[in-house]
Structure 1
Amino acid sequence: MAKGDKLYFQALVEASKNTAVGDSNALDLLNKAIGKNNSKAQYALATWYLYGKTVKKDYKRAVELLLDSSIQNNEMACFDLAVCYENGFGVKKNSKKAFLFYSKAILLGEKQSIYEVGRCYYYGVGVNKNLELAKVYLDIANMYGIET
């Protein structure tokens, strides 16, 4: 178990009891776990800020937390960060960074990113268009049953 995991899991239990914006107990627990550099807590709070769950929606704060979590190789944080860069949520749109974070997410085991990298190669999003590589990634995504 990583540092701060107990606090992280307690926060999730608290959050499931009360989803009201500003639920300070769950938020306090997550922040304590984040203080212990817990990447799962960083990612969880980032998603709360992305979707306005328990806290007010704040894309910039979400991106800060996603960056911290991605540095610790959290595959979902890398994926969500790629989505933020591709769509300009909390950051300036940057398709190259989006492609890089989708690629990192694949290397960390996040399967939806396989499709996203294939799509990037197919359309030339953040990378030179390459239909051969697109086909490879899209075929692998299809093999995993990922919607294309």
Structure 2
Amino acid sequence: MAKGDKLYFKALKEASKNTEIGDSNALELLQKAIDKNNSKAQYALATWYLYGKTVKKDYKVAVELLLDSSVQNNELACFDLAVCYENGFGVKKNTKKAFLFYSKAILLGEKQSIYEVGRCYYYGIGVNKNLELASVYFDIARLYGIET
């Protein structure tokens, strides 16, 4: 178990009981886990800000937390950060950064990113269009049961 995991799990349990915005107990627990550099807690809080769960939706705060978590190699944070960069959620739209974060997410084991990198190669999103590489990524994605 990583530092802060107990606080992280306790925060998630509290949040599942009460989804009201401003549920300070769950938020306080999550913040304590983040203070212990827990990347899962950082990612969880980032998603709360992305979707307005327990806190008011705030893409900029979400991106800051995703960046912190991605530095600690959280594959889900890398994926969501890629989505933010691709769509301009909380950051200036930057398809090159989106491609890089999808690629990092793959290397960390996030499977959906395999399809996303293939899509980037297929359409030339943040990278030069390359149908051959797109096909390779789509084939691998299908091996993992990801619809292409």
1:37-48 equivalences under 5 Å are: 37-48=37-48
> Residue 96 of structure 2 aligns with which residue?
96
> Residue 50 of structure 1 aligns with which residue?
50
After TM superposition, give the deviation of residue 143 of structure 1 in Å: 1.2
Runs of 4+ in 1 over 2 A off after TM superposition: none
After TM superposition, give the deviation of residue 147 of structure 1 in Å: 1.5
Q: Output the TM-score relative to the length of structure 2.
A: 0.99
Unaligned runs of 5+ in 2: none
SS at match of 1:125: coil
Q: Distance in 1 between matches of 2:144 and 2:8?
A: 30
SS at match of 2:138: helix
Deviations 1:65-119 (A, max 9, x none): 0000000000000000000000000000000000000000000000000000000
SS at match of 2:64: helix
> In percent, how many aligned pairs have the same letter?
89
Unaligned runs of 5+ in 1: none
Q: Output the TM-score relative to the length of structure 1.
A: 0.99
Question: How many residues align structurally?
Answer: 148
- Counterpart residue identity of residue 22, structure 1: G
After TM superposition, give the deviation of residue 131 of structure 1 in Å: 0.6
After TM superposition, give the deviation of residue 62 of structure 1 in Å: 0.1
SS at match of 1:132: helix
- Counterpart residue identity of residue 67, structure 1: L
1:12-91 equivalences under 5 Å are: 12-91=12-91
